Amino acid sequence: MFKIKDKYRGNKVTYQKIWVVALPIIIQNVIDAGVNSADVMMLNTVGQNAISAVSLANSLISIMFMFLYGIGTGVAMLAAQYYGKGDNETIEKIEGIGLKFTIIVAILAFVAFLAVPQHLMFIYTSDKTLIEIGSRYLRFFAPGLLFWAVSAVYTSILRCTGRVSTSTAIEAITLVCNVILNAVFIFGLFGVPKLGVVGVAIATSISRLIQLLCCIYVSLRYPGVKLTFKTVFERHPLLEKDFFGMALPAIGNDMVWGLAFSVYSVIIGHLGNDAVAAYSFVNVARNLGCVFCYGIASAAGILCGHLLGQGKKEEGIKMGHIMLRLSVITGLLGGLVVLLVMPFALRYASLTDTAKDYMKFMLLLNTYYITGTSVNSTLIAGVFRAGGDSKFGFWCDLIDMWVYAVPLGLLAAFVFKLPVKVVYFLLCTDEFVKWPWVFKRFYSHKWAQDITREKQEIA
């Protein structure tokens, strides 16, 4: 291991290249986490039930997000390497394949959110008040899914093709509009009626429409890969084979991971309103702590993919080792962020004393839990996928989450009826259980592969 570390030490130019890619993504994540924090603080004025209901509804929405993220990273796996190869024409074809699937799934989710929101909320809680509030939130959130599906694929393409700053600017505009519209609809500014939770959903849908309009503007105004629906209706058998072979395991990986966290919310949701409210605030703090981690993970996928697509395997491996070291550093920084947020959360959150006690314990656990998240995200969702190695992540998370963590949480909560703190602690062991297998895969370097095809072969 020590020989490997010495062999793959980075230099100043390499780190500069990393931060050129990672910093805009980190800024985007900071804005995103800041907006989510603002949402919770605004809903704090509406009441604990509003916070809890929206948190549970967002657990359902996170499943959709994981699917879109999976499609985006699946597209990125191929697009990053083809960009390294200089083949924009093939990237547009990959974009069309991705759009085809995101639009279908968005339409299905749109119909479900409008038709049966109560049934969906009942999965997470049996509290009738929370079900009613969450159902109204889902109905008004539904239109935003359609806009979000298209822009998610295109912003992923922008990041992979050297336009990270443009993607970040679009996200920043979207999120700033979101927080402003939240304030207008929640507090009834400028003569608008106070809409509370419904206002948050309306604000989100409008901001997603703004995001899509920004994507269309960038596509029309600037050179590069275009946002086009022409390729959605084309057939490219070899590219589709590559997409299914590599992107679907990535989508499955994110869905497995996202669904497991959704079950975590189900478990917490049935442990009482105090536990749910505490969990809602903790999720916001954890998201703040993870902004650096996810930035490094995204940069790892892009930069390693570019190098491998150019046929520079050794340089791609070297980049992977640098990213692993950075993931440990950003994980520790993320834990420090959570520690700094804790006093403010305990002081200003409108929660019961019991809920605050739960929140303090959960926040302390997240000071170290984020390091596990950072390392695993960087390696599984970044480095491994850069070389097309998505199947390992799928099987790793499937076994870790669904054979270990989810059954453990269900048994602890509903069979042994352990205290809330013990249940949450057990759920927070999931990231560290898989480390031996993740590190073994990383140091084998089997993930470092060129997955591109020649234009003649695709034609």
In this predicted structure, the answer to whether residue 184 has a pLDDT above a threshold of 50 is: yes
Least confident of 31-45, 63-77, 371-385, 413-427: 31-45
Q: What is the pLDDT of residue 321?
A: 94
pLDDT over 70, % of the chain: 94
Parse the chain into domains and list their residue ranges.
Answer: 2-458
In this predicted structure, the answer to whether residue 56 has a pLDDT above a threshold of 90 is: no
Q: What is the pLDDT of residue 54?
A: 82
Mean pLDDT of 358-377: 95
Tell me how far apart the alpha carbons of residues 456 and 158 are, in angstroms, rounded to a whole number: 25
In this predicted structure, the answer to whether residue 39 has a pLDDT above a threshold of 70 is: no
More confident of the two residues 144 and 55:
144
Mean pLDDT of 267-288: 87
pLDDT band at 73 (very low <50, low <70, confident <90, very high): confident
Least confident of 119-123, 321-325, 333-337, 353-357: 119-123
pLDDT band at 311 (very low <50, low <70, confident <90, very high): confident
Q: What is the pLDDT of residue 198?
A: 86
pLDDT band at 30 (very low <50, low <70, confident <90, very high): confident
pLDDT band at 190 (very low <50, low <70, confident <90, very high): confident
